[in-house]
């Protein structure tokens, strides 16, 4: 195999790459990453599959800086995974509805899924559906266990879960992730002074290794619609 170079993957062992592309990734690693990404896309609602960091429209400097933070966050998480360091760092998006919080959160997950990290997004309504009577708990517990273990979890819209049992369930998820030093991204439409009162146990854990990002610009959906009309 004169035109090939022998390399060794720490996970899959020996593999060969073209001499013209000596830095090519292990093909089995690439297949595994592709599978993670495809499965994540399947888990999304049809309207969310196109959301990414690359197509988030920015006009103001605040939006541009927020996008830069999100991209830097992706790089940091991937680097920590590669270095086998605890992921642990969390983000909390807060502010006005319609400002692109979910768009950026899903964009982060999509970028991380492409790198083979296990990711998942769940809404407060979906979490509420997991708060079921005892006879149905076995099914819900499988989902709750998965949410505790994925590398990066998005919880969207955190503070709308008001039932004490649902709050306790969210605390159980966030607490376990905090102890295992996994990354969590929480989203809320509330302003800071309101969500800080939501559940101090949850907020405290997110805050310890977390970065709070305010979304205080105008409705992103309206702005994107207007820009599409101008460019259409």
Q: Which helix (H) or strand (E) holds 18?
A: strand 13-18
> Could you give all domains of the chain from N- to C-terminal order, each with its CATH number?
44-231 (3.40.50.300)
Distance in angstroms (rounded) separating the CA atoms of residues 70 and 66: 6
At residue 196, the pLDDT reads 60
Shortest CA distance to 9 belongs to which of 164, 105, 116?
A: 116
Could you report the per-residue pLDDT of 165-212, keeping only the tens digit for each? 888 888 999 999 999 999 999 998 876 555 666 678 888 888 899 888
pLDDT: is 87 or 168 the higher one? 87
What is the model's pTM?
Answer: 0.85
Nearest 10 degrees: Cα torsion 228, 71, 171, 179? 170
Could you report the per-residue pLDDT of 113-162, keeping only the tens digit for each? 999 999 999 988 888 888 777 666 777 888 999 999 999 999 998 777 77
């Amino acid at each position: 195999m004169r035109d090939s170079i022998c390399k060794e993957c720490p996970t899959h062992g020996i593999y060969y790459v073209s001499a013209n592309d000596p830095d090519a990734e292990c093909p089995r690693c690439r297949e595994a990453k592709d599978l993670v990404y495809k499965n994540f896309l399947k888990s999304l609602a049809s309207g969310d599959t196109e959301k990414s960091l690359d197509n988030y429209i920015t006009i103001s400097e605040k939006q541009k800086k927020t996008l830069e933070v999100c991209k830097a966050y992706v790089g940091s998480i991937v680097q920590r995974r590669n270095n086998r360091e605890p992921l642990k760092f969390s983000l909390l998006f807060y502010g006005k509805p319609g400002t692109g919080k979910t768009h950026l959160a899903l964009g982060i997950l999509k970028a991380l899924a492409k790198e083979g990290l296990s990711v998942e997004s769940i809404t407060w309504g979906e979490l509420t559906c997991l708060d079921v009577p005892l006879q149905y708990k076995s099914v819900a517990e499988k989902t709750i266990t998965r949410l505790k273990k994925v590398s990066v979890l998005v919880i969207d819209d955190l503070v709308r879960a008001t039932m004490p049992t649902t709050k306790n369930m969210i605390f159980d998820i966030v607490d376990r992730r905090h102890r295992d030093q996994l990354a969590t991204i929480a989203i809320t439409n509330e302003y800071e002074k309101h969500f800080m009162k939501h559940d101090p146990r949850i907020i405290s854990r997110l805050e310890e290794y977390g970065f709070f990002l305010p979304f205080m610009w105008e409705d992103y959906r309206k702005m994107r619609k207007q820009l599409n009309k101008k460019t259409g």
